[in-house]
């Protein structure tokens, strides 16, 4: 019995090592100088150049046009993550409310129109989506970055499941008290959904922050680059130079993963709740 | 679940008591529907339409060519090679991500103490974006500084990611699996912890061997979770690995392994082959459509179990 327990821990520790080590190494390496990394390889020790490297990466204007800094990219990522998460929650709560709480002739049709979107990810229609954006003149705008990503029913599906689990008695009681649809929504349903909203907000923020393909297509103006979208540019510059700026590439990678990773670690309970309870 | 009578209205999520208003529900649905029509149905319809046309490369209109874009795509050896790689890639990524995730979840579930510590340490990689994971992967497989390259050199292997087709494929799979393990871990662990204590005790009495208990009692109970994850992982391998691949092939797709989605992107945006790219999109749509229908049917059946 005891021996299996020890073996379990060993397997878990190997798992933890494999998951954690690459990121720790990436961070440690980012604190070394480029030439140092070039001759000595990746590092597990503290290099002492943390402040300089991260300051350079955050404030130096780079890119081909020289107008984007790491800080700007971080801001853009933040706008994308927050805008997407907020938009997703508002749109999908309203839609789910209509579907679950209203009797109207086209309910079934609306349901299927919305839920068909779960069948096809954005990736399979990237080219026509891009053309639609062009036709609407939305390329290189925050609207174009955020709104098309909202065209899927994931959030609506989550809230629909949640609303269905809310006891019918609440609505009956509210109606006896004379509450109309708006009052019931704002005074009863929204407060009840707080945990659910938080969980979905976290998942959607991480999803939005981590978007890559869509921002890559949508933004050619470097002023709109997000950190994750900037990765490719970092690599292209990095490949060209004699002694590649490994330290800066790693520093940007760390910055690009920091907010979503912190959110997942800090709000772990809600994050897991949102993932596991809503998907089924 | 509220009443499982299974009629159409119930599926649409109706409550026993409802508001009735001639225009309010449409008002609430309007924003979501507007976005879905403009950014989902319109482009999807356009993909299907342009898959039947041959676009003039200079933008002077297009000619209806029927199924010939599809025929070209499906007859092309390059496309079939990429389809084969995509299939192998998907199977390997799904298999390893699922089995390692399951192994870690079973161990974490068995170890009561330290469980939440392991949980925290194992799940956060989920939040790393695929291209960021790809960048870190690139560094670990780098010719000059990559520890994995050095390790392989010890065994007499010469890994050349970005140059050697097989080596690049290997690195892509490793990075993609690494990134997906936490997701599977979370779901398997919650699945395991959802098994009632009484069932576990009964199983422990009936079957003393831990391994056999796992295969005969635990795994069947996890089957719904595993099935759900199977679909999610296949979708992940097909689509979400785009970032990993894009970072790793470094714009030299020609002699590197790529997946079908990457090919759609290459042909559409680099090659300006609108018809061909659209036909490929539609082929992928059909694949995902079938997969998801399969999943919906299964989930529906499971809802009735509750």
Mean pLDDT of A29-44: 87
The size of the A-B interface in CB pairs under 8 A is 318
Whether A128 and B285 lie within 8 Å, measured CB to CB? no
Measure the N-to-C terminal CA separation of chain B; round to a whole number of Å.
8
| pLDDT score of B29 | 95
Distance CA A109, CA B260 (A): 33
| pLDDT score of A105 | 87
The DSSP code for A188 is I
User: Which residues, at least 6 apart from B88, have a Cβ–Cβ distance to it below 8 Å?
Assistant: none
* Nearest C-alpha in A relative to B50: A128
pLDDT over 70 at A10, yes or no: yes
pTM for this one? 0.90
| pLDDT score of B3 | 38
Tell me the per-residue pLDDT of A108-151, one tens digit each, with 9 for 90 and over. Answer: 899 889 988 887 888 888 888 998 999 999 999 999 999 999 99
Residue from the list B8, B28, B181 with its beta carbon closest to the beta carbon of A97? B28
How many Cα atoms are found within 13 Å in the side-chain-facing hemisphere of A29? 30
Whether A12 and B108 lie within 8 Å, measured CB to CB? yes
| pLDDT score of B162 | 79
Contacts of B235 in chain A (CB under 8 A): 121
Tell me the per-residue pLDDT of A159-202, one tens digit each, with 9 for 90 and over. Answer: 998 898 888 888 888 888 888 899 999 999 999 999 999 999 99
Q: What six digits make up the tokens of B132?
A: 């960021």
At which residue do the structure tokens 């759609």 appear? B264
Tell me the per-residue pLDDT of A250-278, one tens digit each, with 9 for 90 and over. Answer: 999 999 999 999 999 999 888 888 887 75
Tell me the per-residue pLDDT of B141-187, one tens digit each, with 9 for 90 and over. Answer: 988 888 898 889 889 888 888 788 999 999 999 999 999 999 999 99
| pLDDT score of B40 | 93
The alpha-carbon gap from A67 to the nearest alpha carbon of chain B, in Å, equals 22
**Crossing angle of helices B274-305/B42-50, nearest 10°?**
130
Question: In chain B, positions 71-90, which contact chain A (CB-CB < 8 Å)?
Answer: none
Residue B293 — left, alpha, or beta (φ > 0 → left; ψ -120 to 50 → alpha)?
alpha
ipTM given for this complex: 0.90
The alpha-carbon gap from A66 to the nearest alpha carbon of chain B, in Å, equals 22
Give me the tens of pLDDT residue by residue for chain B, a chain 306 residues long.
333 333 444 444 457 678 888 889 999 999 999 999 999 999 999 899 989 988 776 666 778 888 888 999 999 999 999 999 999 999 999 999 999 999 999 999 888 776 778 889 999 999 999 999 999 998 899 888 888 988 898 898 888 887 889 999 999 999 999 999 999 999 999 989 888 888 888 888 877 777 888 888 888 888 888 888 998 899 899 999 999 999 888 767 677 899 999 999 988 888 878 888 999 999 998 988 888 787 777 765 654 443
Query: Using an 8 Å Cβ cutoff, are B96 and B177 in contact?
Result: yes
| CA dist B126 → A134, A182, B265 (Å) | 33, 38, 25
Q: Which residue has the higher pLDDT, A46 or B3?
A: A46
Contacts of B33 in chain A (CB under 8 A): 95, 110, 113-114
Tell me the per-residue pLDDT of A105-116, one tens digit each, with 9 for 90 and over. Answer: 888 899 889 988
Q: What is the dihedral of CA B21, B24, B26, B32, to 10 degrees?
A: -140
Cβ–Cβ contact A60 with B under 8 A: no
Whether A172 and B289 lie within 8 Å, measured CB to CB? no
Q: Model confidence at A241, in pLDDT bands (50, 70, 90)?
A: low
Distance CA B203, CA B57 (A): 67
| pLDDT score of A3 | 59
The DSSP code for A199 is H
Distance CA A166, CA A163 (A): 5
DSSP H helices, chain A, are 2-30, 34-40, 50-59, 70-101, 107-115, 126-135, 142-146, 154-165, 168-176, 181-184, 190-192, 194-209, 213-218, 227-240, 246-266, 268-278
The alpha-carbon gap from A46 to the nearest alpha carbon of chain B, in Å, equals 17
Distance CA B239, CA A213 (A): 10
Question: In chain A, positions 125-144, which contact chain B (CB-CB < 8 Å)?
Answer: 125-132, 136
Cβ–Cβ contact B245 with A under 8 A: no
| Nearest of A211, A198, A214, A201 to residue A256 by alpha carbon | A211
| Nearest of A78, A16, A27 to residue A54 by alpha carbon | A27
Contacts of B5 in chain A (CB under 8 A): none
Mutate which of B27, B28, B186, B208 to test chain A, going by most A C-beta atoms within 10 A? B28
| pLDDT score of B35 | 95
How many Cα atoms are found within 13 Å in the side-chain-facing hemisphere of B290? 5
| pLDDT score of B4 | 38
Cβ–Cβ contact A29 with B under 8 A: yes
User: Which residues, at least 6 apart from B255, have a Cβ–Cβ distance to it below 8 Å?
Assistant: B163, B165
| pLDDT score of A77 | 96
Distance CA B54, CA A240 (A): 38
pLDDT over 80 at A39, yes or no: yes
Mean pLDDT of A44-67: 82
Cβ–Cβ contact B125 with A under 8 A: yes
Contacts of B139 in chain A (CB under 8 A): 26, 29, 42, 246, 249-250
pLDDT over 90 at A79, yes or no: yes
């Amino acid at each position: 019995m005891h021996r299996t327990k020890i073996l379990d821990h060993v397997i878990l520790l190997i798992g933890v090592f494999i998951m954690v080590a690459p990121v720790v190494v990436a961070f440690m390496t980012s604190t070394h100088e480029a030439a140092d990394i070039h001759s000595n390889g990746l590092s597990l020790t503290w290099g002492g150049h943390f402040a300089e490297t991260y300051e350079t990466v955050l404030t130096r204007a780079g890119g081909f046009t020289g107008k984007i800094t790491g800080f700007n990219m971080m801001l853009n990522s933040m706008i994308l993550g927050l805008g997407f998460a907020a938009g997703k929650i508002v749109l999908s709560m309203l839609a789910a409310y209509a579907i679950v709480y209203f009797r109207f002739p086209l309910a079934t049709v609306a349901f299927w129109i919305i839920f068909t979107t779960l069948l096809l990810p954005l990736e399979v229609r990237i080219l026509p989506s891009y053309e639609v954006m062009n036709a609407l003149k939305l390329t290189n705008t925050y609207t174009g970055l955020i709104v098309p990503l909202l065209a899927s029913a994931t959030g609506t599906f989550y809230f629909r499941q949640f609303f269905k689990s809310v006891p019918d008695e609440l609505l009956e009681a509210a109606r006896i008290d004379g509450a109309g649809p708006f009052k019931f929504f704002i005074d009863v349903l929204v407060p009840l959904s707080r945990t659910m909203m938080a969980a979905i907000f976290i998942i959607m923020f991480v999803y939005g922050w981590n978007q890559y393909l869509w921002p890559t297509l949508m933004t050619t103006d470097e002023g709109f680059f997000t950190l994750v979208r900037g990765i490719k540019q970092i690599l292209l510059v990095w490949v060209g130079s004699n002694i590649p700026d490994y330290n800066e590439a790693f520093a940007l990678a760390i910055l690009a993963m920091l907010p979503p990773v912190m959110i997942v670690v800090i709000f772990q309970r809600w994050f897991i709740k949102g993932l596991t309870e809503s998907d089924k | 679940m509220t009443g499982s009578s299974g009629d159409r209205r119930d599926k649409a999520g109706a409550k026993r008591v409802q508001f009735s208003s001639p225009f309010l529900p449409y008002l609430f649905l309007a924003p979501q529907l507007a976005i879905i029509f403009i950014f989902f149905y319109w482009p999807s319809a356009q993909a299907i339409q342009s898959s039947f046309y041959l676009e003039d490369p200079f933008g002077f209109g297009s000619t209806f060519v029927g199924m010939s874009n599809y025929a070209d795509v499906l007859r092309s050896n390059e496309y079939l090679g990429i389809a084969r790689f995509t299939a192998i890639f998907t199977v390997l990524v799904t298999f390893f991500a699922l089995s390692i995730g399951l192994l870690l979840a079973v161990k974490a579930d068995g170890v009561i103490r330290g469980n939440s510590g392991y949980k925290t340490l194992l799940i956060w990689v989920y939040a790393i974006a695929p291209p960021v994971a790809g960048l870190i992967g690139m560094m670990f497989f780098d010719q000059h500084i990559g520890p994995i390259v050095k390790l392989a050199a010890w065994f007499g292997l010469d890994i050349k990611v970005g140059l050697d087709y097989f080596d690049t494929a290997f690195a892509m799979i490793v990075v993609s699996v690494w990134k997906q393990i936490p997701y599977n871990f979370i779901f398997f662990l919650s699945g395991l912890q959802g098994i009632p204590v009484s069932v576990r005790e009964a199983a422990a009495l009936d079957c003393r061997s831990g391994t056999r208990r796992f295969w005969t009692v635990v795994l069947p109970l996890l089957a719904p979770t595993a099935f759900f994850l199977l679909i999610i992982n296949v979708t992940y391998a097909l689509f979400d690995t785009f970032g990993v691949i894009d970072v790793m092939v470094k714009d030299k797709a020609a002699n590197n392994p790529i997946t079908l989605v990457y090919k759609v992107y290459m042909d559409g945006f680099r090659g300006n082959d609108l018809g061909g790219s659209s036909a490929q999109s539609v082929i992928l749509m059909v694949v995902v459509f079938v997969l998801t229908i399969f999943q919906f049917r299964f989930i529906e059946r499971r809802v009735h179990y509750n």
